[in-house]
Structure 1
Amino acid sequence: MKLAVLSGKGGTGKTLVSVNLAAVAGHSVYVDCDVEEPNGHLFFKPSGVENEKVTIKIPIVDEDLCNGCRICVDFCKFNALASIIGKLIVFDEICHSCGGCIMLCPNKALTEKDKVIGEIQKGISEEVKVFSGILNTGEVSGIPIIKKLFSEISDEQEMIFVDCPPGSACIVMESIRDADYCILVAEPTLFGLHNLQMVYELVKIFNKPYGVVINKCLEGENLIKKFCLENGIKVLDEIPYDKELGKINSNAEIASRVSPKYHALFSALLQTVTKEVSHEAITHS
């Protein structure tokens, strides 16, 4: 079972939820797909860490074969190619590695070379296998790293928790593509509601089953709970606004491992999510 944890913005509690769910699940897999700013490893502190570079293919030009026809330049929608006084220039930083320019070149003047865009890290923390993707600063897209992460866990039999990037961009879509269930994390504020609506629309487009966890809850009116009620969305749990939890997080500790109260909370949340996934499976069988 693969569970994806999303939020409309950073700092909402997405990593809090995904890290603690993986911890209480015991034998499980945690995958940090927030490749621009991965931080799950700060909590898990995995041992036996292995690093592996991730590369993409980018074009390289043979000037002796290039006749300056500009077919490749006109094709590239990302402006990664330019022809200046008949000389073809490749801008590696904005190339999206689609390979179209190489296919279209009539003189076979373009070939490919590897470019390192980041890496993945693999380690273990107690019973949790920890996988993290790290995108090099300035790179165009983290999708190749996310694909590499998922290829590494394709044979895993344990429950998988995917810590998605914030927002609703392409890298988020790639992160939830094969998810069995999506957990949307939101704060009970106007800004939090706006960002919840973004990921809510996204999971509906992908036709994924989903539920909401409301983080940093206070007494009184709750905009997120009201929105969920009006739209028939399952509220999976409410995490209170708690100084103890804030202190645990600021110390880069996993709440469910150091606090019996939060071990109980996240264990109950995991049971709720598991029941929801089972219910969805029965409903659509």
Structure 2
Amino acid sequence: MRIAVLSGKGGTGKTFVSVNLAVTAKNAICIDCDVEEPNGRLFLKPEESVTEEVYTKLPQVLEEKCIGCRKCVDSCRFNAMGFIKNSPLVFPEVCHSCGACSLLCPTGAIYELKRPIGIVERGRNKEVQVITGILNIGEASGIPVIQNALDTKITEKSIMIIDCPPGSACSVMESVQTADYCLLVVEATIFGFHNFKMVYELVSLLQKPCGVVINKGDYTYYPLINFCKENNITILCCIPYQEKLAQIGANGEVASEKDDETRMIFSTLLDKIRMEVRE
């Protein structure tokens, strides 16, 4: 089973939910796809980590073969190429490595070089396999790193927890493509509710079953409750804000390993998700 954990904004508690679910499930794979700011490993502290570099392909131009036909420039849907002084110019920051320019060049003037854009780190914390995607600073797209991190075999008995990037951009869509169930973490605030609706729209478009975890839910926020009722979205649990949880997090520890009440919350949550997936 693959569970994608999403949130409409940063700081909602997505990673908190992800690492606690993984530790509670025990035989789990926890993949941090928040490649611009991965922090699940700060809590899971994987050992015996192995690092793999992730590359994309960047077009290069052989000017002596170029005839100035502009087919490469005109074919680039991402506007990653320009034509300056009778020669194509590549803009690496917006290139999506689709290969169209080299494929359409009639003279073979364009070839591709590997360009490193990030790494994937694989390690283990007891019964949890920890996989972390890390994008190099300044890179525009982390999708190749996410794809590499998600390219992980899963057995029938194991559970994969996917800690998605915040928001609803392309990187989030890539993270949830293979998910069996989406867990939407939301704060009971106006801002949190607004962004939650965008994430819900995304998972609805992808036709993914989903449920809601209200984090730091110290009071009943009726617009959120009513929205979930109107759209038949299951509210799986509400985690109250507690000073002890904040202290455990500040110490870089996993709450379900340190607090019996939190362990029970996530054990019950995991059982509810299993039931939702079976239905």
Same fold (TM over 0.5): yes
Q: Which range moves more in the overlay, 6-15 or 217-226?
A: 217-226
Partner of 1:255: 255
Corresponding residue number in structure 2 for 1:125: 125
Any conservation in 1 of the 2:154–2:160 contact (CA below 8 Å)? Answer: no
Partner of 2:216, secondary structure, is strand
1:115-170 Cα offsets, whole Å, 9 max, x none, are: 0010100000111000010111121211111111121x124441100001111111
Match of 1:199 in 2: 199
* CA distance in structure 2 between the partners assigned to 1:133 and 1:223 by the alignment: 35
- Relative to the length of structure 1, the TM-score reads 0.94
The one-letter code of the counterpart of 1:91 is F
Q: Which residue of 2 is the match for residue 56 of structure 1?
A: 56
Q: Which amino acid aligns with 1:185?
A: V
Cross-structure match for 1:75: 75
User: What is the CA–CA distance in structure 1 between the aligned matches of 2:220 and 2:232, rounded to whole Å?
Assistant: 21
Aligned to 1:244: 244
Task: Determine if contact 2:8/2:166 at 8 Å carries over to the other structure.
Answer: yes
Say whether 1:115 aligns with 2:119: no
Q: Aligned partner of 1:189: which letter? A: T
Question: 2 CA distance for matches of 1:90 and 1:271?
Answer: 51
**Which residue of structure 2 lines up, in the alignment, with residue 230 of structure 1?**
230
2:105 aligned partner = 105
% identical aligned pairs: 51
Q: Is the 8 Å Cα contact of residues 187 and 224 (structure 1) preserved in structure 2?
A: no
| Cα RMSD (Å) | 1.2
Contact 1:213–1:236, Cα closer than 8 Å, also in 2:
yes
User: Does the 8 A contact of 2:188 with 2:220 survive in 1?
Assistant: no
Change (3 A) 1:209 1:99: same
How far residue 219 of structure 1 moved from its aligned partner, in angstroms, is 3.0
Q: Is the 8 A contact 1:96 1:140 kept in 2?
A: no
Normalised by the length of structure 2, the TM-score is 0.96
- Cα offset for 1:78? 2.5
Q: Which residue in 2 is equivalent to 1:283? A: none
Aligned residue runs from structure 1 range 149-164, under 5 A:
149-151=149-151, 153-157=152-156, 158-164=158-164
The residue number in structure 2 matching 1:185 is 185
Report SS of the residue matched to 1:208. coil
How many residue pairs get aligned? The number is: 278
Instruction: Provide the rounded CA distance (Å) in 2 between the counterparts of 1:220 and 1:79.
Output: 48
Runs of 4+ off more than 6 Å: none
For residues 62-120 of structure 1, what are the alpha-carbon distances to aligned partners after superposition, in whole Å with 9 as ceiling and x for unaligned? 11101222221122233322222113222222211011111111111001110001010
Distance in 2, matches of 1:196 and 1:220, equals 16
Contact 1:184–1:213 at 8 Å: present in 2 too?
yes
